[in-house]
Amino acid sequence: MKRRTAREKALQALFQIDISNVEPSDAIEHVLDGAPQNDYLNRLVNGVVEKKQEIDQLIIQNLEKWTIDRLANVDRNLLRLAIYELQFCKDEVPENVVFDEAIEIAKAYGDDQSSRFINAVLSKVKQ
């Protein structure tokens, strides 16, 4: 599985966890839909779940005139995913790749404003 696909599947799993409060392993299994397990997908989902409080604090600190609860579910979980990669996969994934992937995924799964919003928040987190 390509990393882009792993990121998209991770976003879907994180969305399920956020909305339905399912176990990470169940969410991963559901998004894989019979496909073989993927180490990077598992690392992303479990890493975000494990570091959620720390990641959410970074999001909260970098929002202007918004609360984390008001964010669209897709945007909130995509930010969590991208911030996890920025903070905890530094040696493995270059920053520009994290940004590009998050923006492209936002265009595919978010609304018209999502990609710009994701880019703005990630730029602040990176500083």
State yes or no: pLDDT of 101 exceeds 90: yes
Domain boundaries, the chain: 3-126
User: CATH homologous superfamily for 3-126?
Assistant: NusB-like (1.10.940.10)
Three-state SS string over the chain comes to CCHHHHHHHHHHHHHHHHHHCCCHHHHHHHHHCCCCCCHHHHHHHHHHHHCHHHHHHHHHHCCCCCCHHHCCHHHHHHHHHHHHHHHHCCCCCCHHHHHHHHHHHHHHHCCCCHHHHHHHHHHHHHC
What does the pLDDT average to over 86-98?
91
State yes or no: pLDDT of 6 exceeds 90: yes
Q: What is the pLDDT of residue 21?
A: 87
Q: What would the pLDDT profile of 39-91 be if each residue is shown by its tens digit?
A: 999 999 999 999 999 999 999 999 988 899 999 999 999 999 999 999 999 88
Mean pLDDT of all residues in the chain? 94
